Amino acid sequence: MPYFNSKNEPITLIVLSMSSQLYLLQLVKSGTEHATCINIATYFNYSPNILLEQTHHIWHVYLPDFEPGQIYAYRIDGRYDPCNGHRFNVNKLLIDPYTRAIIGTLEWDDSLFGYDIHDSSSGKDLKFNTVNSAAFMPKCVVIDSGNFNSGGDIPPNTPFHETIIYELHLKGFTKLNQKIPEEIRGTYAGIAHPKTIEYLKNIGITAVELMPVQHFITDRYLKERDLTNYWGSHTIGFFCIRCPLFIDRNLWRTSS
């Protein structure tokens, strides 16, 4: 997980692993989101202040020269012993499960799997796959969450016995609503539009519960049929807001 407080303080990345033997952080230069990741060892010559450390089961690295917007991912090396639950594979790029933003999309490719999915032999999932998956994986982004500007919003503090919750699909709820400007239909701004709020209040709703809005992927069999994952299952970033639901998909890049 990235630890970052403000624009004037450095980034510390932290990973917990009880069984890994080597933790590699890979960084992508700004403006090259789809470029080959750069192993952090490359930066040791660039900045002597970057130290990769391990404290018990926690791997951590201090990055004094990097700021919000830095794109990164992980590789974890260790024992490959599937029968005992160990499937470490340094060839596979990994997303930080605690990242606050994800850039890019998962492009389905056989290299994403830890074994050869076309192997028809028994026990095929026990074989080690050496193909690099980096080109087909989305990447993580460090954001400055400490400076988020809520605009003065405060919770309504509705008593629980008076609370009526409406569960809704964020995109579907406003996508066809003619009373809302077309450019914001199906987005967070569409839900916050006065016409949406007015409607919800008129039917007695005091709170809404959004169906999955975290970063999720579209299943391979759907992609192959030119379909999408409408409902938002298969989340890969529980702490990431799904960017296509913003009007400005680069909104996460700002700190306010």
3-state secondary structure of 161: helix
Amino acid 76: pLDDT: 82
User: How many other CB atoms are there within 10 angstroms of residue 183's CB atom?
Assistant: 10
Q: pLDDT digits over 169-201, tens only?
A: 999 999 999 999 999 999 889 999 999 999 999
Identify the H or E element spanning 44.
helix 41-44
Q: Which helix (H) or strand (E) holds 14?
A: strand 11-16
Give the pLDDT band (50/70/90) at residue 43. very low
Q: Which residue has the higher pLDDT, 20 or 117?
A: 117
HSE, CB side, 13 Å, CA atoms: give it for residue 134: 19
2-145 in CATH: which number?
Answer: 2.60.40.10
Domain edges within the chain: 2-145, 160-210
> Can you spell out the DSSP letters for 181-238?
-GGGTTSHHHHHSHHHHHHHHHTT--EEEES--EEE---HHHHTTT----S--SEEEE
Distance, CA of 135 to CA of 137 (rounded, Å):
6
How wide is the angle at C-alpha 188 spanned by C-alphas 183 and 191, nearest 5°?
A: 90
Note the pLDDT of residue 34.
47
* The model scores a pTM over 0.95: no
Q: Output the pLDDT for position 41.
A: 47
* pLDDT band (50, 70, 90) for residue 144: confident
Q: Which of 25-39, 57-71, 93-107, 206-220 has the lowest mean pLDDT?
A: 25-39
CA distances from 137 to 133, 143, 217 (A): 7, 19, 11
